[in-house]
Amino acid sequence: MKINRFVTYALLALSLLFTSATTVSALDRRVRIVNETGYTIVRFYGSNKGSDSWEEDILGSDVLPSGSSVNINFDDGSGYCKFDFKAVFDDGDVLVKKNINICKIGTFTYN
């Protein structure tokens, strides 16, 4: 009887652990980036906190004019929710924002 109860509790604990891990990995990592600066974003980077360098320019050959927005899926398979953003503007200015929790926000606005 005690062994069955132990097995039941162990299976329940494993089930909760698996469910919790699945929920974390299934979080929505899509973020709408909004540019309200008056300048065009010519390059945009988003790197997870575990990365020691900026990844490729997410915009590629596109730009993000002021007054516009773009939806970006930051799911890089790492499971990270915290990302650093780097925006490079047409006037040469660079703006870096750190520790953005992309799992908790749906929109990030530069203004």
d(C-alpha 52, C-alpha 18), whole Å: 29
What number of other Cβ atoms are within 10 A of residue 47's Cβ?
Answer: 18
Q: What structural domains does the chain harbor?
A: 28-110 (2.60.40.2890)
Task: Report if pTM > 0.85.
Answer: no
Query: Structure tokens of 60?
Result: 């590629």
Mean pLDDT of 69-96: 95
Mean pLDDT of 72-82: 92
Give the pLDDT confidence score for residue 16 in this predicted structure.
57
Residue 15: pLDDT over 90: no
d(C-alpha 105, C-alpha 90), whole Å: 26
**What is the four-CA torsion angle of 51, 55, 59, 64, rounded to 10 degrees?**
50
